[in-house]
C-alpha cells in the first residue's frame, strides 16, 4: 500500500486552477521527485501533501489517513511522521541551530535534556554540521542553512522526508553534496523521500521515480530511465531545455513590428 | 501644568495634587503606557510574525505539529499581561513625581507634604481601575499585533502594511476601550 496517495486532487486559488485532478501513489521507501518548471504547481502539490492547505476537491492519504478531511489532532499525529525542509530553510532566526533541531524533541518527547542534546548532535553530525550547533541561522551560508533545515526535519526520525527545492540557489558543488546527503539518508534510514525540484542533475541523481508536472497535471510519471526515454513533448522540452515559442507568436511579432515603426523607437 | 494655570486663577493650586494623583492612576498612566507599548511592541509583534509568515517559519511550525497561536501568541500575550500593568505603575510613579517637582518649584511645597497629600487623595479603587484598564489594553495590543502579523499575505511590503495597521488599530481600540472603562467607572461612582 502506498504511504502517500493523491486522488483526483483539484486546487484553485481565487478561481484559477493550479492542480487539475492529480493522481499519484508514492510507495514506502522510494524517492519521488516532483519535477516541473516554475508555476507548474509542484510546490502547491507539496503543500497539499504536508497538509498546509485544503484542496477544492480530491483527497491526499498519508499513512492511510485522509489529511484533507481528518481532525486537527489526527493531522498533528500524521505530521509527526513527516519531516519537512522548506525552500527558504525556514529556520527560526531567534534560535541557535541546535535549538532549532531540538525544538520538536522538546515539544513532542519527554526525553531528558542530556539525551536531547546528544540526539541533536547526532542529527547535526548526519548533515555535517556537528560543530556549528551554537551558531544562529543568520551566521550560516545558504548550503549550511539547507543542511540545518534537513537536520531539523530529521529530528523526530520521520518515516517521510519532504524537501522543497533543496538545491535552489546553491552552487553545483554544495548542490551535489546535498544530493549525496539525500541518497545517504535514504540508504541509512529507509525513508520515503519526496523532493520538489527543477534541477535535472539532482533529480536524476536521487530519484527512484519522477513525476513531471506541467500546468497542474502530470505530463509523465515513471522511473528516471522511463523519463529520460520519454517522447512526451513537454518532458522532452524540459529535459532538452527548449524555450517556449512565445516570442515567435504572431501577436508578439506584430507588437514589436508596430513598436519599431513608432516615433518612440526612432 | 495647563490644569494648574487654570486652577491658579481660582486660588485652587493645591488641587493640582488631586488632579495629578487621581488623573494618573486612573487614566493617564495606563493610557499613555498603552499607547507607547502599542507603538513599540504592537508593531514589533506584527512585524515579527509577519516576517515569520513570509519566510515560511509559521508553516514550518505547523508541519512540526506545533500550533503557531500557542507557540507565538500565547507567550507574547502573557508577557504583555505582566509588563503593561507594571509599566503603568511605573508611569503613575513618574507622573506623580513630575507633579511633585512642579509643586515644589511653583509653590515651594515640601516633597514629603506633597507625598502626604498624594496618598490622601488616591483611593485603592483608582489604582485597581487603572490596573484593570492596563490588563485590557495589554489584551488589545497583543491580540491586534499578533492578528495583523498572522494576516500577512505576500511579501515584505505586506509586513510593512500590517505593522502600520497594528499600531493604528491597537491605538484606536485602546482609546475606545479607555472611554468605555471611564464611562463604566463614572456611572459606578455616580450610583
Cβ of B65 within 8 Å of Cβ of A108? The answer is yes
Shortest CA distance from A52: residue in chain B:
B59
Tell me the average pLDDT across B162-180: 95
- pLDDT over 80 (residue B5): no
A49, A63, A86: which to substitute to probe chain B, counting the most B Cβ within 10 Å? A86
Shortest CA distance to A186 belongs to which of A201, A170, A205?
A205
Q: With an 8 Å Cβ cutoff, is B60 touching chain A?
A: yes
- pLDDT over 60 (residue A82): yes
Chain A partners within 8 Å of B74 (Cβ): none
Contact indicator for A194, A46 with CB cutoff of 8 Å: yes
Chain A partners within 8 Å of B63 (Cβ): 50-52, 79, 82, 84
- pLDDT over 70 (residue B191): no
- Provide long-range contacts, Cβ within 8 A and 24+ apart, for A239-242: A239/A200
Q: How does strand A57-62 pair with strand A31-36?
A: unpaired
Q: Which residue has the higher pLDDT, B29 or A253?
A: B29
Structure confidence by residue, pLDDT tens digits, B67-100: 888 889 999 999 999 999 999 999 999 999 998 8
Q: With an 8 Å Cβ cutoff, is A65 touching chain B?
A: no
Cβ of A107 within 8 Å of Cβ of B66? The answer is yes
Tell me the average pLDDT across A147-173: 88
Contact indicator for A131, A98 with CB cutoff of 8 Å: no
Which residue's entry shows cell 515567435? Answer: A248
| pTM of structure | 0.80
B63, B69, B153, B156: which to substitute to probe chain A, counting the most A Cβ within 10 Å? B63
Is the CA virtual torsion A223, A79, A105, A112 positive or negative?
negative
Chain A partners within 8 Å of B64 (Cβ): 79, 84, 103-104, 107
Cβ of B56 within 8 Å of Cβ of A107? The answer is no
Tell me the average pLDDT across B44-70: 92
State the nearest Cα–Cα gap between A141 and chain B, in angstroms.
16
Angle between helices B74-107 and B29-37 (to 10 degrees): 130
Structure confidence by residue, pLDDT tens digits, A48-64: 999 998 999 999 999 99
Which of A80, A90, A108 is the closest to B60 by Cβ?
A90
Tell me the ipTM for this assembly.
0.82
- How far does Cα A87 stand from its chain's mean position? 7
State the nearest Cα–Cα gap between B58 and chain A, in angstroms.
8
Which residue's entry shows cell 510519471? Answer: A221
- Cell of residue B3, nine digits: 490644569
Contact indicator for B137, B111 with CB cutoff of 8 Å: no
Cβ of A104 within 8 Å of Cβ of B66? The answer is yes
Structure confidence by residue, pLDDT tens digits, A246-262: 656 677 778 888 888 88
Which of A82, A88, A107 is the closest to B56 by Cβ?
A88
Cβ of B57 within 8 Å of Cβ of A92? The answer is yes
Q: How does strand A57-62 pair with strand A65-66?
A: antiparallel
Q: With an 8 Å Cβ cutoff, is B124 touching chain A?
A: no
Contact indicator for A139, A128 with CB cutoff of 8 Å: no
Amino acid at each position: 500500500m502506498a504511504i502517500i496517495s493523491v486522488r483526483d486532487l483539484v486546487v484553485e486559488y481565487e478561481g484559477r486552477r493550479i492542480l487539475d485532478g492529480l493522481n499519484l501513489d508514492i510507495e514506502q521507501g522510494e524517492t519521488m521527485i516532483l519535477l516541473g518548471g516554475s508555476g507548474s504547481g509542484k510546490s502547491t502539490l507539496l503543500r497539499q501533501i504536508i497538509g498546509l492547505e485544503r484542496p477544492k476537491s480530491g483527497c491526499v492519504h498519508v499513512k492511510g489517513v485522509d489529511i484533507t478531511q481528518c481532525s486537527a489532532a489526527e493531522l498533528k499525529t500524521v505530521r509527526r511522521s513527516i519531516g519537512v525542509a522548506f525552500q527558504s530553510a525556514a529556520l527560526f532566526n531567534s534560535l541557535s541551530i541546535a535549538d532549532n533541531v531540538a525544538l520538536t524533541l522538546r515539544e513532542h518527547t519527554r526525553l531528558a535534556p542530556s539525551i536531547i542534546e546528544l540526539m541533536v548532535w547526532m542529527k547535526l553530525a548526519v548533515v555535517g554540521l556537528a560543530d556549528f550547533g551554537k551558531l544562529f541561522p543568520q551566521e550560516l551560508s545558504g548550503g549550511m542553512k539547507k543542511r540545518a533545515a534537513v537536520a531539523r526535519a530529521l529530528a523526530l526520525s520521520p518515516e517521510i522526508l519532504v524537501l522543497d527545492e533543496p538545491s535552489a540557489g546553491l552552487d553545483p558543488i554544495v548542490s551535489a553534496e546535498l544530493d549525496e546527503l539525500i541518497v545517504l539518508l535514504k540508504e541509512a534510514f529507509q525513508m520515503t523521500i519526496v523532493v520538489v525540484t527543477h534541477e535535472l542533475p539532482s533529480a536524476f541523481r536521487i530519484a527512484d521515480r519522477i513525476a513531471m508536472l506541467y500546468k497542474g497535471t502530470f505530463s509523465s510519471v515513471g522511473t528516471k530511465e522511463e523519463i529520460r526515454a520519454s517522447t512526451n513533448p513537454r518532458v522532452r522540452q524540459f529535459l532538452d531545455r527548449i524555450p517556449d515559442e512565445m516570442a515567435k507568436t504572431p501577436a508578439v511579432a506584430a507588437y514589436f513590428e508596430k513598436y519599431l515603426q513608432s516615433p518612440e523607437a526612432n | 501644568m495647563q490644569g494648574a494655570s487654570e486652577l491658579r486663577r481660582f486660588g485652587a493650586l493645591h488641587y493640582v495634587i488631586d488632579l495629578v494623583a487621581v488623573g494618573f492612576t486612573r487614566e493617564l498612566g495606563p493610557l499613555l503606557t498603552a499607547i507607547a507599548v502599542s507603538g513599540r511592541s504592537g508593531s514589533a509583534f506584527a512585524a515579527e510574525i509577519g516576517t515569520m509568515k513570509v519566510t515560511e517559519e509559521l508553516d514550518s511550525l505547523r508541519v512540526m505539529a506545533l500550533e503557531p497561536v500557542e507557540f507565538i501568541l500565547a507567550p507574547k500575550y502573557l508577557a504583555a499581561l505582566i509588563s503593561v500593568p507594571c509599566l503603568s505603575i511605573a508611569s503613575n510613579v513618574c507622573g506623580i513625581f513630575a507633579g511633585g517637582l512642579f509643586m515644589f518649584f511653583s509653590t515651594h511645597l515640601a516633597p514629603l507634604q506633597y507625598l502626604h497629600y498624594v496618598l490622601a487623595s488616591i483611593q485603592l479603587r483608582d489604582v485597581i481601575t487603572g490596573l484593570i484598564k492596563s490588563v485590557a489594553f495589554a489584551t488589545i495590543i497583543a491580540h491586534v499585533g499578533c492578528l495583523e502579523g498572522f494576516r500577512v499575505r505576500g511579501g515584505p511590503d505586506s509586513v510593512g502594511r500590517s505593522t502600520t495597521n497594528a499600531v493604528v488599530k491597537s491605538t484606536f481600540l485602546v482609546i475606545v476601550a479607555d472611554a468605555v472603562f471611564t464611562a463604566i467607572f463614572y456611572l459606578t461612582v455616580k450610583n
